[in-house]
Structure 1
């Protein structure tokens, strides 16, 4: 039902105001109670975050924010001083550690908490902000900030804005972002993301930059066990599963990669590449079979797992 239909039903006495509120939240009032409960769960962004593997520091941060914002509302009710909420953040870590995924879910959570009215994510990189000629960069950057108002502006590999030195237009983008963070500090959230070492260097390029980000989160590499959990979740969502030998081989590959590629380890991205390759190899193997059972269609075997899926 759309809002107009809901209003008409209330007006005609066909549904109660409470049922109308539920319908406006995206719940079909004509469905049974169990279905409604399932839909409420699906709409809960905090549950979506908590279902992600690992990310303990992020989950703790969200708990803190929820508690802080609830208490601020109570203080406001009692006529006490309420501090403005400034939540610009730095996400530091290797690729595939969940930075973009977390940013997207945070937008939903902050909308749910009435911090952001939209909660959408605008994801950009250097090319979206830096122009080729004088005067282009400031306008491009302002346009991206404006598109992210009441949501989150997420800049991946943010350190690339400082890579060209003093004469590079990237510095102009940084200055424009700093000004927007001050002028519109309660209208959007800026999240800068990238490799830990390079982000640390980037924050030193502008003396006032680091202090403007009250929240800095380190996204550590996943453990091998965490990566195996991620692999199984990816497969389960596609109606696949690992045989025991396949799981052992995958674990061996992950241990090797984590040991020898620690600095540039691509975490969940690596797992996804291996899994997608294994599904293709399983298809090539099964297409030769005359009879294929449901279980065979679902099972990824040892020979389907290969380091050739790594890129």
Structure 2
């Protein structure tokens, strides 16, 4: 989601008990020991306030509209990391889990925002040394001649070490067929995942169907991405909530008539738009366009003198010049 959407949505600090059917594969099969300790090992003398590490992450998650299953899965990853630390301190095998991920969903559903939060979580838990996000697309990876693609891809992997390499519209790497340099990028990424194991996390993002097709282009890809997150489209109530939050972030308010007009437009765009609806990204564009329209209206209306504070803040229905498209 381009443009950060913030506001508490009423989630409690306790996490729901719903289980997510996600398999977190271990890089190596755990060894089963026949030795049973006579008693429980003593707990770590300094547990570092187990949940305090997650409080900042949870606050950022709770500021996102919707995405309840995504929030649950992020907490599941946190729980795994926390318990792994406890097991290590207790002298137990904690396993080398694989954390490469697939993010599926339409544009504007929060994939990039969640990737940044996940990067911060892994850094706080000691999995990643830096926790930065390197966001790239096909043009950043694919070169113009044989060998150029591998070089560019290796350089971006090196830049992402200690953090996350996030490839948006990753399926575009497989669109050109066998002779396309995109295949070279895929092969280089797969090799880098082995050469730099546990040194970075790779997240592939894009439309659900296209990502599924992409995964089938290389037989080794499926097993390398054990965590998959599905980002659903926002429903209408959520889109309106996002609209109000985006306006509030900019010190604007929407009149009830403005919200009604916006709601009708968004529904029409979702149902009959020529292109895939881009969710919060589309909402942001509409809000920003309405702010520009309001600026023009106020300058024309107040030739002398200045409008009051409330007038400067209010987006009226006439500021939403939509007519089925952004004008």
Common fold by TM > 0.5: yes
Give the match for residue 282 of structure 1: 294
- In the alignment, which residue of structure 2 is the partner of 1:306? 321
Unaligned runs of 5+ in 2: 1-51
Judge conservation of contact 2:78–2:121 (CA < 8 Å) in 1.
no
Residue number in structure 2 paired with 1:34: none
> Cα deviations across residues 100-147 of structure 1 (Å, max 9, x unaligned)?
111112111211121111000001111111111111111111111010
Residue 129 of structure 2 is aligned to residue 113 of structure 1: no
Show structure 1 runs of 4+ deviating over 4 A.
Answer: none
* Residues 46 and 109 in structure 1, CA contact (< 8 A), matched pair in contact too: no
Q: CA deviation at 1:263?
A: 6.9
Shift of the 263–220 alpha-carbon distance from structure 1 to 2, 3 Å rule, reads farther
CA distance in 2, matches of 1:306, 1:288: 16
Deviation track 1:20-42 (CA, whole Å, cap 9, x = no partner) reads xxxxxxxxxxxxxxxxxxxx99x
State the match for 1:149 in structure 2: 161
- CA distance in 1 between counterparts of 2:326 and 2:229 reads 27
Query: Residue 44 of structure 1 aligns to a residue in which SS?
Result: helix
Aligned length: 271
Distance 1:94 1:310, change over 3 A: farther
State the SS of the aligned residue for 1:287.
helix
Normalized per residue, the structure richer in helix is: 1
Q: Counterpart in 2 of 1:226? A: 238
Aligned to 1:68: 80
- Residue 167 of structure 1 deviates from its aligned partner by 0.8
> Structure 2 matches for 1:148-297, cutoff 5 A?
148-261=160-273, 264-290=276-302, 291-297=306-312
> What are the Cα deviations for residues 17-64 of structure 1, in whole angstroms up to 9, with x where unaligned?
xxxxxxxxxxxxxxxxxxxxxxx99x9233112211111122011110
Separation in structure 2 between the aligned mates of residue 130 and residue 170 of structure 1, nearest angstrom? 6
How far residue 183 of structure 1 moved from its aligned partner, in angstroms, is: 2.2
SS of 1:288's equivalent in the other structure is helix
Length-normalised TM-score, structure 2: 0.79
**2:134 aligns to what SS in structure 1?**
strand
Separation (CA, whole Å) in 2 of partners of 1:223 and 1:263:
17
* Equivalent of residue 82 in structure 1, options 80, 89, 94: 94
**Normalising to structure 1: TM-score of the pair?**
0.83
Write the distance in 1 (CA, Å) between the matches of 2:101 and 2:123. Answer: 16
Q: Is the 1:274–1:306 contact (alpha carbons within 8 Å) kept by the matching residues of 2?
A: no
Offset of residue 262 of structure 1:
9.0
Q: Who is 1:28 aligned against?
A: none
Deviations 1:206-237 (A, max 9, x none): 01111110111111111111111111111111
CA RMSD of aligned residues (A): 1.8
Asked if 1:124 is matched to 2:124, the reply is no
Contact 2:109 2:234 in 1 (8 A): yes
